Structure 1
């Protein structure tokens, strides 16, 4: 490590592996250390067992111990939702809620579109959503069976089995950068299931925001962050009862004008959620960090 540390503020996301944790702890003890900001955007203490890989990793005592120790020595912690802030304050009182924002260029980005009349239904996300995607498998299969002009495109975790769609399905694995992921989104309709669960209470509306930025209408669970973000009947639909997944999906895959109108409304809403327009939120964290370390 350099003798002269020039970094003034260091932001670490989910630092809990052994090597990075050792560095983080060493930095916290240095007299010339940078301000340390710990960032976490999931309730890692309540991952459901239906997501076996993530659950197995974050329930390891050593991993949790390092996670909590690294949060304790941070000058500030950032989270995206208040329920998660409540969890993290057990280890560090200096917690700031900074919502997720996305780059403004997405508002002008033209996503890839098919010209053969096919309608692409899409979902993208990590391997912590097993319980969520199970919510809509039966309804999705029924709609696709009765509407042969549809296809399903999954990005990220491979949930083809959970969705239960065997034909007209594409899967795109993890991309090298977030920008590559956004450019891979070619959905005409975005699915956003979210089961009522303590883990999901700390989720942000990021999936719905991504859809809005790209002008894509979303069908989302009427729960938690999605309920607060999606404007029912304007930027998409919020689902309260299981059969509504099929109803709203049928409406959107068969009505291009509705998709375009809702997508345009969603993009207008998303204009308030750009990184460039909300830099003050992060500036406030850095300022608070500076003040706490100067005392």
Structure 2
């Protein structure tokens, strides 16, 4: 069998980017001739240190441990046929390890799903921002043998530095994503994300406030992914994301929202929140930014809303019509099945691996 080393930051089932970009394909690849090792550098214990303010000694220990782990990866790089780097090989601005991988006998695939060439540091680590160098993204792209870009916007950026680019959309395992029915007498408007993207939920507070005042106790609001988020005005206590509870928590949502500012970072997003909602037949409204305008056909499989007035109007339509919610939800799932599911992309995934290391 051919051998692949997957290089990523987090342990399996921890990071949505990893899960929805490559982890879902691992068993399929193994069934078709690709054995693999998975090298990650941030453990569950490290999470509690890395994403808390301060704790600089603990973060230094993580840095040293991670450096040693990547050294080991670099030393054995030539024993692999492919090295798959998701976003970056190491958490600092250095491309030292990517250069070592590129000089090995292995072919290098670089995968990214955000505009990571722009600075976007977690608020708790602002004081360590000097260690980051988002501009290194272009160097990693240039070093790689093939690029997996999550959408056309990212592919256009990558094409400045490498011509061997494949667009692989972020995908949903639709066999796993099946809605769990629930009975309730209120309409749930929900958002799923993380503590680093909660600012995008708050980007929608003006229109949510108008909806709350208009419909009062007919609606309620839910945030998934940031358990520390509290908004007393909307009676929100964020709930954590876990793999075990993910489908149940998402299934409670009747209307899934993805508000975004129209900036360069948002244009690089791959629409994951919306695709998760749509896969579960949840009526979905997204800002018309980046790939969202490709995913959603306004009024057919979801809604696009730009201004506050548009958001209020389209949310109101969905709140007042369960039939419309059902129609958009069913059409949304069909869109995911056809274009953004693991089953719709897995043969492409395999084909691109085979292009790099043809069968003997």
TM-score tier by shorter-chain length is 0.7 to 0.9
Contact 2:173 2:343 in 1 (8 A): yes
**1:13 aligned to which of 86, 89, 93:** 86
Contact 1:54 1:128 in 2 (8 A): no
Distance 1:198 1:171, change over 3 A: same
**1:28 aligned to which of 96, 102, 108:** 102
Distance 1:102 1:4, change over 3 A: closer
Give the match's secondary structure for 1:105. coil
Match of residue 148 from structure 2: 78
**1:173 aligned to which of 230, 240, 243:** 240
Give the drift of 1:128. 5.1
- Mapped to 2, the partners of 1:124 and 1:173 lie a distance apart of 10
Give the match's secondary structure for 2:237. strand
Matched, 1:42 2:107: no
Contact 1:141 1:165 in 2 (8 A): no
Greater relative contact order (Cα 8 A, min sep 6): structure 1 or 2? 1
Give the drift of 1:235. 2.1
Match of residue 137 from structure 1: 205
- Mapped to 1, the partners of 2:357 and 2:76 lie a distance apart of 22
- Mapped to 1, the partners of 2:292 and 2:357 lie a distance apart of 34
Matched, 1:120 2:194: no
- Mapped to 2, the partners of 1:56 and 1:181 lie a distance apart of 32
Matched, 1:147 2:216: yes
Match of residue 225 from structure 2: 156
Match of residue 357 from structure 2: 290
Give the drift of 1:136. 1.9
- Mapped to 2, the partners of 1:187 and 1:247 lie a distance apart of 19
- Mapped to 1, the partners of 2:127 and 2:310 lie a distance apart of 34
Per mean C-alpha deviation after superposition, the further-off stretch among 18-27 and 257-266 is 18-27
Give the match's secondary structure for 1:283. helix
User: What is the correspondence of 1:110-259 to structure 2 with a 5 Å cutoff?
Assistant: 110-111=179-180, 113=182, 115-127=183-195, 129=197, 132-145=200-213, 146-157=215-226, 160=229, 166-175=233-242, 177=243, 180-185=245-250, 186-259=252-325
Give the match's secondary structure for 2:169. coil
Give the match's secondary structure for 1:172. coil
Distance 1:11 1:182, change over 3 A: farther
Give the match's secondary structure for 1:152. strand
Contact 1:42 1:202 in 2 (8 A): yes
Contact 1:47 1:55 in 2 (8 A): no
Distance 1:160 1:62, change over 3 A: closer
Give the match's secondary structure for 1:104. coil
Provide structure 1 residue ranges, at least 5 long, that are not aligned to the other structure. none
Give the drift of 1:6. 4.9
Q: CA RMSD in A?
A: 3.2
Give CA-to-partner distance per residue, 1:166-208, whole Å, 9 cap, x none. 2432312243x4x753443121100111221122222223222
Give the drift of 1:120. 1.4
